[in-house]
Chain A
Amino acid sequence: MEAFILQILNGLDKGSAYALIALGLTLIFGTLGVVNFAHGALFMVGAFVAVTMSKLLSLSTTTIDPTRTDFLGNPATIDTPYVVNWFGPEVGATLIDWAVPLAILLAIPVMILFGFIMERGLIKHFYKRPHADQILVTFGLAIVLQEVIKYFYGANPIPTPAPDVFRGSFDFGTLLGFDPNTVIYPYWRLVYFAFAGVIIAAVFAFLQFTTFGMVVRAGMADRETVGLLGINIDKRFTIMFGIAAAVAGLAGVMYTPINPPNYHMGMDFLVLSFVVVVVGGMGSLPGAVLAGFLLGILESFASTTWATNAVPGINQIIIYLVAMIVLLTRPRGLMGRKGVMED
């Protein structure tokens, strides 16, 4: 029982990342009808926004302290971050410590702007082109983004720690009446799960309860009619693209403490997120979220020792196997509707 709960918890953080990326993919797909192969790259760009934030915050002035020497006998150099100079040692240290959550503030405008530029500059010209062209051009963009990041940040993963407060683990076992230390779960993953929940809820609320969201939903159902009613649906779809980019970027920002970002993390996540979208049902937002969590949890169950002992390497392929079975039995995915992307 303990092990069971532990695996479900373990699956939640990866599932959250899948769900967030798949949500963005489905949003873009549902509104603009474009398959965005660069969406994983947006996730990666988000992660590197967090890296940049933590680097920015620890930008330092170097002073030489003549009273002390380092181990070579030279005068010691002391790096003082600017934030410490500006806000005093305590606030400065806290700011540096909280670099990843603070990066959210930077990531939202950056990612939305990024999304706007991408949609207006590139995707816009591909609405009337075949899907194959859309896939290819966004695939090319993904390669370019990946290589640009590699050029500036190097090929190695960059560890970016979570704030000190969230370093430890939470003992679920005592809460649920099991022995202590049986079901422990890192705080940050809990934060990530909660964060994903908030974002998903916010996106759904935005689409469901605002006039803007209503128009967007109407546009997803019948773009032409909405346009005929005198509504500039293109503009709203562009904004939705920005939002989808921001969702992917935020997912990336918060994921950095779990997995140090490297330049190819986007593609690794993208392939799985596509599988998630297909399993959930193309064009279905709840389907994407549901399938994201389901597959994340399944993957975590497949990683347990008894599963890998039974079938070696099952954790690597379980998602694809499940996708295969789902497609063979329910070709439209779990919650796919008829008539969505059937051509």
Chain B
Amino acid sequence: MTDQTQHIATPTSEPAKPARKRVGGGILGLTRKDFALLVIVILLTVLAPFLLNPFPTDSAMAQFNAGYPDLMQRFVIFGIFAIGFNILFGLTGYLSFGHAAFLGVGSYSCVWMFKLLGYNVLPGIGLAIIISGLFALLIGFISLRRSGIYFSILTLAFAQMSFALAYSVLSNPKFNLTNGETGLQVYTNDPQIFHNPATTVNAPHIFGLAMRETETLSLGRWDFQFNVGYYLSAFFMVICFYLAIRLFRSPFGMMLRAVKSNQQRLNYTGLNPKPYTLAAFVISGMYAGLAGGLLSAMDPLAGAERMQWTASGEVVLMTILGGAGTLIGPVLGAGFIKYFENIFSKINESTLQAWFAFMPDGMQDVVVAIVYPFVGKGWNLTLGLLFMVVVIFLPGGLVQGGQKIATVFRRDRKASGVEDDAAEQRQAGE
């Protein structure tokens, strides 16, 4: 696979070169194509405050803007979550239905670091990755004893168990780890041994720079917001994305693909796939933990609902919608879902009435009545329908959709080219 991609990516390179050298070559160990992808992602994340804010602040279209800190943070954080999920599902084909558990564990660990050490986010994020990795090791070790549907069910059961643990079991007065329904948060009587309220800000920060701090740049009628928390999360996402590319192109990634395509044959060749799948599971659990830690860093409140099966289903949908097994797909999917969740939830009946005001009166009411159940509180219904539509018609997700459209155009060109050739030949024959 490495040889093949290498060959496709750089058709001019001589295939006779030793493989090792080629893997190490390129920029940051990437082929030119992958590096271009990485650069595009970096540019998109850095320029997101501009790109996601195309409408002037006072215009009627401003509600479609996504360039405000809260939403941008969610884009990149759930992007990390989906990239991690894709390492497991996209490469090995193991469908985990309980990935939200790791997200939740990461969130809780991060808040605990805030409570014990202080508001600097780095220890929290570090602990979130470590704890969720260990948790994933435990769950993965048990769940990976079975594959296929069993695996999905087991991970779902584990996630529900973690939810039950976080929601009620681990929040009794004797041993309060999760603070139950209220959610874990920092109280004034917490130790916070490294926290000095006199010198540092009383909110999550990185070396004194608060996560919530936002610079606003006003250019004419546009207001662009640059948020510290967003750029920190974006920094982590770029690193995660880079690691994911390296992993996809590595021999290890190759083994994971082999697990997906034919595990039996792998067994016959004398290879034990379990260490590879377990490693993939743990890596993707750590990605989820990082995402959870970042969520807590943006808003230091961790609740059990982050671990619920709906949250697990959402990351599956993000990955599938974007395109499982592709590099950029999960990020696209995460952005797509979070954007529309946000926009759809904001729409209410009067907004709809205003939109369809151009229609004749009777028709306007009918259209509003039809659309209304799908927006506002009905976002989950739209999500479910979207889920079904994507799985039924577009199993490869948005990336596959894009490729399909691209091939249609290319085929048209090629087809007309073939006809021309045929015409020429006929003429030559005559």
Contact = CB atoms under 8 A, between A and B. Distances in A.
Interface of A: 35, 122, 125, 129-133, 135-137, 139-144, 146-148, 151, 267, 271, 274-275, 277-278, 282, 312-314, 316-317, 320-321, 323-324, 327-328, 331, 341, 343
A151 B156 contact: no
B400 to A, nearest CB: 14
A313 B168 contact: yes
A321 B164 CA distance: 12
Contact of A151 (B164, B169, B373, B385): B373
A132 B93 contact: yes
A140 B385 contact: yes
Nearest to A141: B388
B343 interface: no
A137 B392 CA distance: 7
Contact of B154 (A143, A314, A327): A327
A327 B143 CA distance: 9
A258 B154 CA distance: 28
A274 B156 contact: yes
B157 A274 contact: yes
B380 A143 contact: yes
Nearest to A321: B161
A125 B95 contact: no
A313 B172 contact: yes
B87 to A, nearest CB: 16
Interface stretch (B3-11, B112-120, B145-153, B201-209): B145-153
A341 B168 contact: no
Contacts of B174: 312
Contacts of B160: 271, 320
A271 B172 CA distance: 25
Interface in B372-387: 373, 378, 380-381, 383-387
| Chain A binding surface SS class | helix
B309 interface: yes
Contacts of A328: 142, 145
A41 to B, nearest CB: 10
Dominant secondary structure at the B interface: helix
Given A135-B95, A271-B309, 4 more contacts: A35-B149, A141-B384, A144-B381, A331-B146
Closest 7 pairs (CB-CB, A-B): A313-B169, A143-B384, A140-B387, A147-B381, A140-B388, A320-B161, A144-B384
A143 B142 CA distance: 28
Contacts of B161: 316-317, 320-321
Given A271-B157, A320-B157, A282 B309 contact: no
B164 A137 contact: no
Interface string B169-197: 11010110000000000000000000000
28 contacts: A122-B388, A125-B392, A131-B95, A131-B149, A132-B95, A132-B152, A133-B391, A137-B392, A140-B384, A140-B387, A141-B388, A143-B313, A143-B383, A146-B380, A147-B381, A148-B381, A151-B378, A271-B160, A271-B309, A275-B157, A278-B153, A278-B157, A312-B169, A313-B169, A313-B172, A317-B161, A328-B142, A341-B149
B148 A140 contact: no
Contacts of B313: 139, 143
Contacts of A136: 95, 316, 320, 387, 391
Most buried by B among A135, A277, A314: A135
B165 interface: yes
B54 interface: no
A141 B383 CA distance: 10
B158 interface: yes
Q: How large is the interface on B (under 10, 10 to 19, 20 to 34, 35 or more residues)?
A: 35 or more
A109 B156 CA distance: 32
A313 B320 contact: no
Contact of B150 (A148, A151, A271, A282): A282
Contacts of B273: none
Given A135-B152, A341-B148, A317 B172 contact: no
A322 B152 CA distance: 18
B126 interface: no
B395 interface: yes
B153 A312 contact: no
Nearest to A271: B160
A288 to B, nearest CB: 13
Nearest to B142: A324
Given A135-B95, A140-B384, A275 B153 contact: yes
Best-surrounded residue of A35, A132, A137, A282 (most CB of chain B within 10 A): A132
Contacts of B165: 313, 316-317
Nearest to B173: A312
Contacts of B89: 132
A82 B160 CA distance: 45
A200 B289 CA distance: 44
Interface in B265-324: 309, 313, 316, 320
B188 to A, nearest CB: 27
B232 to A, nearest CB: 33
A122 B174 CA distance: 50
A137 B384 contact: no
Contacts of A144: 381, 384-385, 388
A280 to B, nearest CB: 12
Given A143-B387, A331-B145, A317 B164 contact: yes
B387 A135 contact: no
A320 B169 contact: no
Q: Which of B149, B150, B384, B386 has the most CB of A within 10 A?
A: B149
A312 B395 CA distance: 44
A231 B146 CA distance: 34
A341 B150 CA distance: 8
Contacts of B316: 136, 139
A317 B154 CA distance: 14
Contacts of B387: 136-137, 139-140, 143
